[in-house]
Amino acid sequence: GQNIDQPTEMTATEGAIVQINCTYQTSGFNGLFWYQQHAGEAPTFLSYNVLDGLEEKGRFSSFLSRSKGYSYLLLKELQMKDSASYLCAVRDPGVGGGNKLTFGTGTQLKVEL
């Protein structure tokens, strides 16, 4: 079966660093994605990992350990506009090699002053 777990919500302070964890158990794996979704809007792509290790992209970094079924998203120098839901998603080859995404329920991050 498919199971992706991430915390429901987190709170952090402006300027700080926050780490959002994600664990997964899926029948197939062809990469892990992090998306940001503001309320009422479409998910927007943040990062992608397919090999173990850390990928850095400005204020955002993402880490993957395939053997542990674990990833995290690290956000540095938090800004108020970072308040959003962060979605962990695993790409599954699926039927016909379609590479569908299986999503966690998302972590609602609230950035406070």
Binding site for other proteins (CB under 8 A): 4, 31, 33, 35, 41-45, 48, 50, 87, 89, 94-96, 98-106
Report the distance separating Cα 6 and Cα 20, nearest Å.
Answer: 7
CB 87 within 8 A of CB 93: no
Read off the amino acid at residue 55.
Answer: E
State which residue, 14 or 41, has the beta carbon closest to other proteins: 41
Q: Minimum distance from CB of 113 to other proteins (Å)?
A: 26
SS3 call for 80: helix
Pick 35 or 72: Cβ nearer other proteins? 35
CB nearer other proteins, residue 4 or residue 12? 4
Task: State the nearest-atom distance from the C-beta of 89 to other proteins, in Å.
Answer: 8
State the Cα–Cα distance between residues 5 and 21, nearest whole angstrom: 8
Closer Cβ to other proteins, 34 or 78, answer by number:
34
Nearest to 6 by CA among 30, 31, 34, 28: 34
In the bound complex, what is the minimum distance in angstroms from residue 13's beta carbon to other proteins? 25
